[in-house]
Chain A
Amino acid sequence: MDVGIVGVQISSHNEVFGKTVRDAVYECTKELLQNLGIDRNDIDTIVTASSDYYQGISCSNSYYFEAAASYLKDATKVEGNSIHAFIYALMRVLSGHFDTALVLAVTKASEIPQISTLTHISSDPFYQRPVGICDVTAAALQATKYMKERGAKEEDFAEVCVKNLKNAFYNEKAYRKMLITVEDVLNSPYVATPIRELECPAHCDGVVALLIARREKVKEICNGYIEPAWIAGVGWGSDPYFLGDRDLIKSGGLRKASEMAFKMAKIENPVKDIDVAEITDTFAHQELLWFENIFSESGVDAIRNGLTTIDGDLPVNPSGGSLATNPPVAAGLLRVAEAALQIMNAAGAHQVADAEVALAHQAYGNAGQHHAVVVLRR
């Protein structure tokens, strides 16, 4: 595919916290454009990702429209898995109608009701909402099953936590950074068994923006100074809605998404071919669970054998993942941004050496229902 990411701009929690959504979107977009030495006129189309309930302002992109450089432009909004916004922008460029596209996602957890309340009301009113199905409880049901079927232990989940919160120290944009032990995690109280308080996502504020462009434009913008991240493959897929209708461990939707992305990227041996992965770890056990579905290899073994540590053969979440930084809806695009930084050799202190192929993944919805996978290449 001849489309690449030429610019990435992540606004950390501290940079967004004291600003309105509109101003935060403006600052992030402005900085991205400045760093690339381009202006609003160089952006042909815009796809943003935000969610009305997660903003308290309906038709959420209406409010920050101009702030995302969209005045009088063909700009649209995706709700849900923010990697979809990235993929939709890609399709717009692939169509030939647009040469460049700005992709942006924003969520301010600090301004809105508790995330569990908002995910609770994504449960249908008749069957799942009255019994309290929300992000935490659905994840807990899933984690219990994972332990039973795959022999995963609480220690394995705690290791993910320890790894990611430590990785976060090397990421200046990360929100929660902690040096803890497995014991610390296992001593934190249960929120819903077997999930411990420390294994829950670190909800925060964030804005993420990327600029993608067709090959000729990539050359023009990068001008020899920027290493672009070429989009090698994308895939997305869905599981049924009701928790009881799903396997919860084997995700058909994620398998479909992964297969689509790998086929497009011509990847035959994912574990070998991929150098670094940013996988949604909204709840600690999910990093292992999704790893397994994506790579068709045991997630439990991966964490036990050190495969996915920062020094391992396939580092997962060198950024610290959602356990460190979770602007709820924007988190998906953040995975793509972090994966892109790896390819672009711009991840700073959390750069994985020789990252030639990177994978980004997001699971959206209680217990992860809508999955999206992106493969980037140097």
Chain B
Amino acid sequence: MEDVRVLTGYISLTYQWVLSPTDARFFDELKNKRIMGTKCPKCGRVLVPARKFCPRCFVDTTEWVEVSDEGVIVTSTLIGEKLRFEGQPIEPPYGLAIIKLDGADVGFSHFIGGIDFSDPEKAIEKMKPGTRVKAVWNEKREGKITDIKYFKPLE
């Protein structure tokens, strides 16, 4: 800040967030290259990522269902060089989308990759809503959402 006297400080706190059994199972299955959803007994929707309860019906989900690692882009965006913030997971440019996998009734957020981002117009066209995509997995998987490296648009 120009011209204003300031005190600079930091709040640095370390966190260890617990993985509930639902989260743990979902992430363990990712290590096996399996994407799991849970089904709500009331509305019948398959929720991905797997959830302990259905947000709409407010009841426990009952079944675990494997969904495909292929699906369709519900919506997407190309993150440009101009968007930089402390804590950003990867450096722009990169693609981000909500993807509805075959077998799931809701979408979830993940990266789009495997396409050339240097020409934004072309890239946006390649990842526009309605495009079918397939998961590309990391060689080394640790039981995290980023075990899926990104979703690649299918020709």
Contacts and interface: CB of A to CB of B under 8 A. Distances in A.
Contact of B17 (A114, A126, A192): A126
Interface residues of A, number: 45
A214 to B, nearest CB: 37
Contacts of B79: 132, 137, 140, 191-192
Contacts of A111: 6
Contacts of B76: 141, 144
A193 B109 contact: no
A130 B120 CA distance: 23
B97 A244 contact: no
A71 interface: no
Contacts, number: 130
A127 B108 contact: yes
Interface string A112-131: 01101100110001111111
A121 B98 CA distance: 19
A63 interface: no
> Interface size for chain B: under 10, 10 to 19, 20 to 34, or 35 or more residues?
35 or more
A28 interface: no
A114 B48 CA distance: 30
A365 to B, nearest CB: 14
Contacts of A130: 89, 144-146
B86 A114 contact: yes
Interface string B66-103: 00000000111111111101111110000011111000
A190 B85 contact: no
Interface string B118-140: 00100010001110000000000
A145 B78 contact: no
Interface of A: 17-18, 56, 110-111, 113-114, 116-117, 120-121, 125-134, 136-137, 140-145, 148, 189-195, 197, 240-245, 248
Interface of B: 1, 3-4, 6, 9, 11, 15, 17, 19, 23, 47-49, 55-56, 74-83, 85-90, 96-100, 106-111, 120, 124, 128-130, 144-146
